[in-house]
Amino acid sequence: MVTLAALHHLPAELEALAERIVSALQKEAENFTATGAAPSIRLAGLQITRVIDPGNQLPGYEGVWRNARNDRCGTLTINSDNSFYAEYDLFCPHPRDTRWFVEMVTAWGNEESLRSEAVLIPSV
């Protein structure tokens, strides 16, 4: 992708899609963290950049969430066809099964279909 410009907001026609994505990430985070320990994943915290897809020369958007130390802790990519992929790091023990550690929550799909899940790795 070729970067064009940093933006403060997504275009209005993508706001509802982005809110659905963020809501799915938040729900997964709440399901896979201890009660009250889920991060607050908000669209307002996303740093967005408009990009051009080199394959079709159409615009897409890439966003990054950063924590208080300015470390990247999540990303959202909305492609030119409105398909998307998002992830948000959790790095915490599974709240109900000590065999697992929760690495991140992810969401992917398009305007018609949204899927989300937690990415688990074996606990050591």
Q: What is the pLDDT of residues 13-59, one digit of tens each?
A: 999 999 999 999 999 999 999 988 999 999 999 999 999 988 899 99
pLDDT, residue 83, reads: 96
Running DSSP on this structure, what letter comes out for residue 79? -
Distances, alpha carbon 18 to alpha carbons 23, 41, 60, 110, 112, in Å? 9, 12, 13, 11, 13
Q: Got the DSSP string for 16-46? A: HHHHHHHHHHHHHHHHTS-TT------GGG-
Q: What is the pLDDT of residues 69-94, one digit of tens each?
A: 999 999 999 999 999 999 999 999 99
Q: Where are the domains of the chain?
A: 2-122
Single pTM value for the model? 0.91
Contact 102, 90 (CB under 8 A): yes
Q: For residue 57, is it left (φ>0), alpha (ψ between -120 and 50) or beta?
A: left
Q: Is 12 helix (H, G, I), strand (E, B) or coil?
A: helix
